[in-house]
Amino acid sequence: MAFDVVVTRVLPEAGLELLRRSGVKLWINPVDAPLAHAELLARLATAEGVVATLADTLDADAIAAAPRLRAVSNYAVGYNNIDIAACTQRGIGVSNTPGVLTQATAETAWALLMMAARRCGEAERHVRTGTWAGWGPMQFLGVDIIGRTLGIIGPGRIAKQVARLARGFDMKVLYYGRSRHADWDQELNATFTDLPTLLRESDFVSIHCPLTPQTRHLLGPAQLALMKPTAVLVNTARGPVVDEAALARALATGQIFAAGLDVYEFEPTIHPDLLNLPNVVLLPHIGSGTQSTRSRMSVMVAEDILAMLSGRAPAHGVNPEVWATR
């Protein structure tokens, strides 16, 4: 199999070994950093397959610069970094990595929720800087979690696992999405509602929707103003779903209690006001970051790119219409 395959970032060895054994002509970015856009375009000029990450923008111009491209395997669940319409028009298959990172990302959402609620980041910095003088009854008072209401925006796989974990905290679960889900109602005893109601009634709001033109800045000044002053916002989905400047203002003025973020509107740049706020926990997009999860993701992208280059539909295809006519 002599296909030219570009891997834009060093990935866990399990998937790379699959590609090496397949006999493809493989180029792997040797630097642990995203390719500059000009270099990405240069690599795409001869590539037949590309294993991409969220940091790689495969827009219409990039697709046009890749005349031999037949397959794109995205090392992520989301694929807003890829122009799917342009790929489909060219007959280029696209795949992603759903399911495998559900548990790890749900755990990250809960870590952020608990850290923000109990002011763990702020308190930990207090200890590390040597300013802690001992226990005090008024130090770093947080908000309770058990028995409170969790609002979930975007009832997908990860969100469902977050809701399952909420049962251990005896929480009421509200959810908002494009439609009602019977399995959420029955299995989780969750309540489908509109977004304003969810924001007004929830003590914790966790975002899990994909980034689309409709969800960009889904939470802006008007929506944040609906939240309780004791509420905590968690985002492990996509940064631009939240208006970052509006969130910084809401946190600074006490409009909401705290936030926990793993994704950012202009990633990797973070709004400077957020960096200076004590009541926000900031993680470097590590939602799926466990050894086993990332390793399984690397195998998935390798298997799917090889399937597509061999003319077969991938197991995790995003645009199945490409294969329907073959």
91-116 confidence digits (pLDDT tens): 999 999 999 999 999 999 999 999 99
85 and 118 both lie in a single domain: no
- Structural domain for 61, as ranges: 4-99+291-324
- Give the confidence band of 238 by pLDDT, cuts at 50, 70, 90: very high
Whether 148 has a pLDDT exceeding 60, the answer reads yes
Q: Give me the mean pLDDT over the 239-265 stretch.
A: 98
**Structural domains in the chain (count):** 2
118 and 91 both lie in a single domain: no
Alpha-carbon gap, residue 92 to 5, rounded angstroms: 14
110 and 178 both lie in a single domain: yes
Q: Which of 200, 217, 249, 285 is catalytic?
A: 285
Q: Which of 90, 124, 249, 267 is catalytic?
A: 267
Please, are residues 166 and 150 in contact by the beta-carbon 8 Å criterion? yes
- Give the confidence band of 24 by pLDDT, cuts at 50, 70, 90: very high
DSSP bridge pairs for 25: 4
41 and 92 both lie in a single domain: yes
76 and 171 both lie in a single domain: no
Whether 43 has a pLDDT exceeding 60, the answer reads yes
Report the pLDDT value the prediction gives residue 283, as an integer from 0 to 100.
98
Q: Which helix (H) or strand (E) holds 4?
A: strand 4-7
Q: Give me the mean pLDDT over the 261-276 stretch.
A: 96
244 catalytic per annotation: no
Q: Give me the mean pLDDT over the 22-48 stretch.
A: 94
pLDDT, averaged across the chain? 96
Residue 190: how many CA atoms within 13 Å on its side-chain side? 30
Residue type, 15: G
Residue 196: how many CA atoms within 13 Å on its side-chain side? 1
Any idea what the CATH number is for the domain that residue 167 is in? 3.40.50.720
Report the pLDDT value the prediction gives residue 323, as an integer from 0 to 100.
86
∠ CA 220-229-129 to the nearest 5 degrees? 95
171 and 204 both lie in a single domain: yes
- Closest listed residue to residue 312, CA positions, set 300, 326, 298, 302: 326
205 and 252 both lie in a single domain: yes
170 and 269 both lie in a single domain: yes
Residue 30 CA to chain centroid, in angstroms?
A: 25
Q: Which are the contacts of 213, defined by CB distance < 8 A and separation ≥ 6?
A: none
298 and 274 both lie in a single domain: no
126 catalytic per annotation: no
Tell me the C-alpha to C-alpha distance, in Å, between residue 81 and each of 61, 143, 159, 270, 321: 13, 36, 21, 19, 20
The pTM score is 0.91
Whether 267 has a pLDDT exceeding 90, the answer reads yes
Q: Which are the contacts of 314, defined by CB distance < 8 A and separation ≥ 6?
A: 71, 73, 93, 95, 303, 304, 305, 307, 308
238 catalytic per annotation: yes
Q: Which of 148, 238, 271, 316 is catalytic?
A: 238
Whether 66 has a pLDDT exceeding 90, the answer reads yes
Verify cis geometry, omega within 30 degrees of 0, for the bond prior to 268: yes
Alpha-carbon gap, residue 235 to 264, rounded angstroms: 9
261 and 304 both lie in a single domain: no
pLDDT digits (tens, 9 = 90+) for 168-219: 999 999 999 999 999 999 999 999 999 999 999 999 999 999 999 999 999 9
Report the pLDDT value the prediction gives residue 326, as an integer from 0 to 100.
66
Alpha-carbon gap, residue 196 to 218, rounded angstroms: 11
249 and 108 both lie in a single domain: yes
For the chain, give the percent of residues with pLDDT over 70.
99
Crossing angle of helices 102-117 and 157-166, in 10° steps, is 50
Whether 324 has a pLDDT exceeding 90, the answer reads no
Q: Would you state the structure tokens that stand for residue 96, as one six-digit string?
A: 């992603």
